[in-house]
Structure 1
Amino acid sequence: MASKTGVFSGLLLLLFAGCEVKEPIAPVWDVELNLPFVNRTYTMKEIVERDTSSLKLRSDTAIIVYEQTQELNSVKIENRMTLDAETKNIKTTVGAIKVNTVASISDEIKMTQWLNVTPGQQQVVPAVSNTLVVQDMKKITSFEVAEFDAGTMSLKIRNENGPVSMTISRVIIRAAKNYSYRGATIAENTRLLTDNTTFTLNQNQERTLVFALTGQKLVDSLRVEVLLSSPGSGGNTILVPANPVTKITADFANLGVSGVKAIIPQQNPIVKSDVIKIDDSTQYTQIKFDSGKLDISVKNSIDMPLQVTITVNELRKPDGTNFSQVVNVPAKGTGTFSIADMKNYSLNSGGVLKNTVTYQASAVNTVQPGVTSTLLSSDSLVSTISMNNLVISTITGKVKPVQLRVVESNIGINLKDLQGKFKFGKLDLADSDIKLLVQKATSFEVRFTGKLRGTNGTQTAELDLPVTVMGAGLTTMKLDPVKVETFIASFQNELPNTMTVVGVTTLNPNYKEGTADMVDSVYGMARLDFPLHVGITNGSFTDTVAVEFSSDDSSKIANSNTADITMKIENGMAAGVTLGGKFVDGNYNYIMNMIPKNTGNDSLVVIPGAAVGPDNKVITPTNKDILIKLVKNDFKNFTRVKYLIFDMKVNTSKPNASPVKFYPLDKLKMRAFGKFSYKVDPGE
């Protein structure tokens, strides 16, 4: 056995000794590499979850709803409840004038004033005929000058001249001195009263003359002028009394003074009340004011100072007490009083619905000892009350219908670009539900009128809101879906991204009784509820996906020069898809179309929508395979690709883009993989 081994070894040595030894050469062969580089599924649920602020899921099997809720700007009553109170002038006159009691005044005409006799002696008394006798009366202390609209002065004449008769044929009452009264002069001896009655008075007889004073004037110093005749003693000697006189006594009764110049005593209060209308329409049982001004002016044409007490029966001060105010008014002057801010003042009618207040002015004069004033019964006191800019804080009653204000509430919506992907060219909103849910704090009804205004930035359209009168509780204003559809259709190319509720609110439009506060408001929300039951024409969806290869795969692709790209698209949505796009590098620079325009390949691919059943749910998805062959420059460009940006145009499956429903699990699935050919060279 050993000899055989040795022989074999020797043969090998001879073999190798006779040959040149070289390095071995590795074989080279072609290899196909299949690499997936896009695998993406888009579900409606995913789209919804990207924008949970507007798209809502009821459940995984429920229909997708586009929902937007936005609080409306509240409309407060604020300073819209106002009163237009009339300015009222209330005039009152002094009326009956009180003077101090006019006492009787007496005086005597001595016999010696009209006969030449010696009192207390026996003598013959001569006869006289039509002798004028004048006697000044004692002074009246109650007035200096007075004029009367009622009353009498009684003048009693008594003969105490002894056994001598006298016949009086005329009595005149005159002013005993000069007077100034009401800008005129009453001169001395001015005739004031006259009596032409003829009568005879025997010894100790008396006669009373009654003078009506209506329309007459008297002064404090009166002069009595008597025209008399006497037969004397008839030639006989008689004893003349020691004090022969004719006594004169004046009494005053039932005086009605219409004017006086005097030291004015305390008068009866001058009282006047009237009703002031605070508004033509607003009626109240209670009102509290937020602001306003009360001005009271008292003009005094009377020649004496007054204290005027002003009351408004229904008006309450902020502390709840009745309003009463004393205004001091100078003689022939004006006094004023103002409440600059009536905040927290209130009116209380005592439960009776009314639109007036009762205003009263009560004036008393200030007595001025030693000061003479002139007073006429026709002298007036004019009080003016004005209530301006009255703003109601709270009211119970019937407030006049009043427009509060125009309010605008913007509702930011994403119909223009749902989460940045879908853009609708046409939208069928047959099942849309747009509601305004509003409430009010006041018990009064509120009428709401307005518009829904939409804009996409370049176009604006308006939709009239239904006129609604809000009663108690929540009021729902639902927009007619047909009108909504027409409204949306007026936008071309891009749907609105903002809607604005423009409304006008009117408080108490039907003039009913209730309660309101200026802080009460009309408030609520707008809810846009669009089920994705839409017809879409040329709606677009854009996304960017990474083209992902490992570094090892990338080096292999670099050795390739051709590739077959297969794209598999499964459309599980009720919308046809037109697909196109572009490949870009890491800086998003364009490299090539997603589907190059090689022979047999269009740059856009149409994938029909899935078949849907009667309930609009997808029953059979549509599949589409696309084969793309990349050679030469297209292939070289492809090796630099980092991202695929694709665009889908969406059209609903039903004829004429009729509406369909979208559900959360509706999906579009897209996969792409490539078959790359490259040479394997182990020596490299």
Structure 2
Amino acid sequence: MKKNIQSISLFLLITLGLTSCFDVPDEFVAPVWDVDLNVPVSVKKYTLADIIKDDPNFIVEYNDPASLGRITYLHEEELTSTHIDEILKIDEFEADAAHRIEEIKIGEIEPISINAGVEEVFPGLSSGSTQIIPSAQVPFNSNFGLNTAFENATFSNGELLFKVKNNLPVGIELRGFQIINAIDGSVLFSRSSNSSDWIIIAPNDSASVPFSLNNKTVTNNLRFESQIFTPGSENQPVVLPEYSAIEITMEVQEGFAISSAVAVLPVQNKVISENSIAVQSGSQPSQFQRTVLGSGSFDILIDNYFDLDLTLELTIDNLFKADGSIFSSSVTLTPNESGRMISEPDLAGWVLDNNGVASEYISYKLGITIHNSETPRAISVEDSVAIHFSFGKMTLESFIGRVSPSDIEIAPDTFNLNLGNPDEILTFDEIILENPNIILEVISPTTFEIMLNGTISISNGIESNELALNNILIQPAGVTGVELKDFGLEELMNSFSEKFPKNFSFSGTATLNPNYLTGSISGKDSITSNLDFVLPLNAGISGGIITDTVKNNLTDNLHGIEDLNYAVVKLELTNEIPLSLACVGTFNDINGATQLNLPPRPIMPGNKDTIFVDPPRVDYKGNTITAGYRIQELELFGDEVKKFLESPIMTFQVRFVTPPNGTNLPVIFNIKDELNFKISAKASYRVDIN
């Protein structure tokens, strides 16, 4: 991974202590000579363990023999929980239903009749006499007796039998007739005066004709109008009975049906209706087997469009109150009463239980009893009891069944990757990580599957990039680990060219129950997730620089010796870090001003401007076989020795020597990798005994 990791300053205090001792005479006398002093300096060892010893995010592998001692950065970031109760709800829904009577009951319909005596039909004739009856055709009009079963009734189907009984000793013919509603003059039935429509009745005989009542409205006051013909007795005297008459009767046959009526009505047959209301619609609605409600309400508005008192009994078969009883209610409504309300303002603790069957319906049963009337009332099969169901939003404490696939938005969750403060220790031009991994752990308490689609955004403050996570199936009731290395993490992290990425954010969408299966869920459930960073310190590094400051204790150790005229400062470097090193140094006064350079500059013939240390020879596990080694000497004369003694601080800069950016391969960094500094000095002291 390319990365221009910011400077990390390592401050190592390498105490240079003189370990040699010598005695200075109280007096010196001629002659004068030079004495060489070898002054060893304490050795300082610097390991990679010193970088990470105070950072709990770095671990050292001690258990796996194959990676013993390797350094790995581990960090766990807990993301904000996503609460499921946002979708565990039933939105408001409404339903309307109209319940009608299928059959109208009225009182018994008695036959109605006209008894027309011979004197009324044929003037001049009289009952109980012997007479010659002449041929005659006379008009005859008369009202039937009143029907007491209804004032009017409209029949949807049925049959009326029209019957004529002739007890005269001569035959008669009905040559056209009609039956009229006397109230409005409308014609119910008729036969024309055509001979084909005549009704011929022999002496002392009867005849009947059926008429359809389909869609006929019949009043209780009917009139008969006709032409009655008799051929007479052919000039022969005949005996007329004591009561000679023509009897006309109409009778409604059994099996009729009335669509409307005005009548004194008996109690109607009870209307029983079973129906259901869809809680959700769509191709994949939520289907519950059992769900406990956390909140909710409903109103049931009832309008009575019957002109009669009625009692309504309502039972919702799969809705149970908090006490375990099935919800039911009974109300009595007056004729044409509207706006009657059944309300339940708080459904907390109520249960929708469908007896183990997944269904999106609330089932109810309705019983309507229409009471009798003492006065004539209108009734029609179009009359109804209208019911409007209105359920408010319901939250669910728990749900067993098949929940509708629902998207849960995962709000962006931003955090910084805490790598300590590397800018004070080490800087890079390029770094390539090998096999980095971030594990997204998603913990799902529900037994439903969850389909995760999300984005991990990564930034180093200058550049940004994204990693898409598509169609990741989170298994029910457990932990699902998603290794981002399988989604191109290594390539993405190695795409940064200037700074190591520290800023991360995660967002996306979780689809609950994407495959529309049966399961269970609680309103208290939430989806929790973590990001586990596992970054083995297997890296290819370009342009890395370690800066080290060392205290120069030579001034203290040589205090009082003022005639030093020559010195050689020797720097020994032993390298176990798996990279070539390039070192430069300066000797600085108390104000930080450079007094001397190591190697010396300007560059003299035969000198180089950089001290190069070879990398160690390592085995395939990254273990050092032979360390890289280099000695560098700085020769000082006269005033240079004085400058050296006036420089209490030595600053060393160690740079990683690697191929050009993009070509360096990862190497293994181990906890025991060392960089050893050893500094010593040899000084020449002039002894003057005069």
Give the TM-score of the pair, scaled to structure 2.
0.73
Amino acid at match of 1:253: Q
Which string of whole-angstrom CA distances, capped at 9 and with x for unpartnered residues, describes residues 606-641 of structure 1?
A: 333333234321233334344446678877777776
| From 611, 627, 643, the counterpart of 2:617 | 611
Task: Kindly indicate whether the alpha-carbon contact (under 8 Å) linking 1:79 and 1:391 is maintained by their aligned counterparts in 2.
Answer: no
In 1, Cα distance between equivalents of 2:529 and 2:629:
48
Give the structure, 1 or 2, with the largest relative contact order (CA under 8 Å, sep 6 or more): 2
1:489 is the counterpart of 2:490: no
Task: Kindly indicate whether the alpha-carbon contact (under 8 Å) linking 1:308 and 1:364 is maintained by their aligned counterparts in 2.
Answer: yes
Residue in 1 that maps onto 2:268: 267
Task: Kindly indicate whether the alpha-carbon contact (under 8 Å) linking 2:290 and 2:356 is maintained by their aligned counterparts in 1.
Answer: no
The 1:362–1:573 alpha-carbon spacing in structure 2 relative to 1, beyond 3 Å, is same
Residue in 1 that maps onto 2:459: 455
Which string of whole-angstrom CA distances, capped at 9 and with x for unpartnered residues, describes residues 437-495 of structure 1?
A: 43422223333344443211111223445754333544333344894432222111322
1:220 is the counterpart of 2:226: no
Amino acid at match of 1:523: T
Task: Kindly indicate whether the alpha-carbon contact (under 8 Å) linking 1:582 and 1:594 is maintained by their aligned counterparts in 2.
Answer: yes
Task: Kindly indicate whether the alpha-carbon contact (under 8 Å) linking 1:61 and 1:665 is maintained by their aligned counterparts in 2.
Answer: no
Task: Kindly indicate whether the alpha-carbon contact (under 8 Å) linking 1:446 and 1:509 is maintained by their aligned counterparts in 2.
Answer: yes
Amino acid at match of 1:68: H
For 1:240-639, what aligned pairs fall within 5 Å after superposition? Answer: 250-254=250-254, 255-273=256-274, 278=280, 279-282=282-285, 284=287, 286-288=289-291, 309=313, 313-324=317-328, 331=336, 346-354=351-359, 358=363, 362-365=367-370, 369-370=374-375, 372-375=377-380, 377-379=381-383, 394-406=398-410, 408-410=412-414, 412-414=416-418, 418=422, 420-465=424-469, 468-471=472-475, 473-480=478-485, 483-544=488-549, 546=551, 556=560, 565-580=569-584, 595=598, 597=601, 600=604, 604-628=610-634
In 2, Cα distance between equivalents of 1:149 and 1:461:
78
The 1:168–1:549 alpha-carbon spacing in structure 2 relative to 1, beyond 3 Å, is farther
The 1:667–1:127 alpha-carbon spacing in structure 2 relative to 1, beyond 3 Å, is same
Residue in 2 that maps onto 1:58: 62
Query: Post-superposition shift, 1:219?
Result: 0.7
Task: Kindly indicate whether the alpha-carbon contact (under 8 Å) linking 2:589 and 2:595 is maintained by their aligned counterparts in 1.
Answer: no
Which string of whole-angstrom CA distances, capped at 9 and with x for unpartnered residues, describes residues 411-451 of structure 1?
A: 64356964842344433433444433434222233333444
Which string of whole-angstrom CA distances, capped at 9 and with x for unpartnered residues, describes residues 148-198 of structure 1?
A: 1333445666678xx886846255433333xxxxxxxxx2x4333346654
1:100 is the counterpart of 2:107: yes
Corresponding residue SS for 1:487: helix
Q: Which is further off, 382-391 or 147-156?
A: 382-391
Which string of whole-angstrom CA distances, capped at 9 and with x for unpartnered residues, describes residues 131-159 of structure 1?
A: 44444444333322111133344566667
Task: Kindly indicate whether the alpha-carbon contact (under 8 Å) linking 1:576 and 1:653 is maintained by their aligned counterparts in 2.
Answer: no
Query: Post-superposition shift, 1:334?
Result: 7.2
Query: Post-superposition shift, 1:532?
Result: 2.3
In 1, Cα distance between equivalents of 2:326 and 2:651:
81
For 1:663-682, what aligned pairs fall within 5 Å after superposition? Answer: 663-672=670-679
1:647 is the counterpart of 2:648: no
In 2, Cα distance between equivalents of 1:158 and 1:332:
50
In 2, Cα distance between equivalents of 1:482 and 1:102:
86
The 1:119–1:274 alpha-carbon spacing in structure 2 relative to 1, beyond 3 Å, is same
**Share of identical aligned residues, percent?**
23
The 1:43–1:83 alpha-carbon spacing in structure 2 relative to 1, beyond 3 Å, is same
In 2, Cα distance between equivalents of 1:217 and 1:427:
99
Residue in 2 that maps onto 1:15: none
In 2, Cα distance between equivalents of 1:171 and 1:388:
65
Cα RMSD (Å) of the superposition? 5.2
Query: Post-superposition shift, 1:257?
Result: 0.8
Corresponding residue SS for 1:281: coil
Task: Kindly indicate whether the alpha-carbon contact (under 8 Å) linking 1:43 and 1:664 is maintained by their aligned counterparts in 2.
Answer: yes
Residue in 1 that maps onto 2:5: none
Corresponding residue SS for 1:45: helix
Task: Kindly indicate whether the alpha-carbon contact (under 8 Å) linking 1:285 and 1:349 is maintained by their aligned counterparts in 2.
Answer: yes
Amino acid at match of 2:188: L
In 1, Cα distance between equivalents of 2:276 and 2:680:
96
Corresponding residue SS for 2:465: strand
In 2, Cα distance between equivalents of 1:640 and 1:138:
146
Corresponding residue SS for 1:536: strand
Residue in 2 that maps onto 1:192: 188
In 2, Cα distance between equivalents of 1:257 and 1:578:
112
Amino acid at match of 1:613: D
For 1:103-122, what aligned pairs fall within 5 Å after superposition? Answer: 103-105=110-112, 109=116
Corresponding residue SS for 2:431: coil
Runs of 5+ unmatched residues, structure 2: 1-25, 192-196
Corresponding residue SS for 1:50: coil
Task: Kindly indicate whether the alpha-carbon contact (under 8 Å) linking 1:415 and 1:495 is maintained by their aligned counterparts in 2.
Answer: no
The 1:120–1:524 alpha-carbon spacing in structure 2 relative to 1, beyond 3 Å, is closer
In 2, Cα distance between equivalents of 1:636 and 1:664:
40
Runs of 5+ unmatched residues, structure 1: 1-24, 178-186
The 1:435–1:120 alpha-carbon spacing in structure 2 relative to 1, beyond 3 Å, is closer
Query: Post-superposition shift, 1:390?
Result: 7.1
Amino acid at match of 1:213: L
1:77 is the counterpart of 2:84: yes
Task: Kindly indicate whether the alpha-carbon contact (under 8 Å) linking 1:558 and 1:639 is maintained by their aligned counterparts in 2.
Answer: no
Amino acid at match of 1:649: R
Query: Post-superposition shift, 1:58?
Result: 2.9
Which string of whole-angstrom CA distances, capped at 9 and with x for unpartnered residues, describes residues 391-424 of structure 1?
A: 7664444445444334555564356964842344
Amino acid at match of 1:175: N
1:43 is the counterpart of 2:47: yes
Query: Post-superposition shift, 1:47?
Result: 1.7
Amino acid at match of 1:618: T
In 2, Cα distance between equivalents of 1:77 and 1:307:
43
Task: Kindly indicate whether the alpha-carbon contact (under 8 Å) linking 2:615 and 2:627 is maintained by their aligned counterparts in 1.
Answer: yes
Amino acid at match of 2:481: T
The 1:155–1:468 alpha-carbon spacing in structure 2 relative to 1, beyond 3 Å, is closer
Residue in 2 that maps onto 1:10: none
Task: Kindly indicate whether the alpha-carbon contact (under 8 Å) linking 2:445 and 2:525 is maintained by their aligned counterparts in 1.
Answer: yes
Which string of whole-angstrom CA distances, capped at 9 and with x for unpartnered residues, describes residues 38-68 of structure 1?
A: 8643222222212122344537962222222
Amino acid at match of 1:331: N
Give the TM-score of the pair, scaled to structure 1.
0.74
Query: Post-superposition shift, 1:497?
Result: 1.5
The 1:504–1:379 alpha-carbon spacing in structure 2 relative to 1, beyond 3 Å, is same
Query: Post-superposition shift, 1:496?
Result: 1.1
Q: Which is further off, 139-148 or 632-641?
A: 632-641
The 1:350–1:481 alpha-carbon spacing in structure 2 relative to 1, beyond 3 Å, is closer
Residue in 1 that maps onto 2:151: 144
Corresponding residue SS for 2:253: strand
Q: Which is further off, 39-48 or 539-548?
A: 539-548
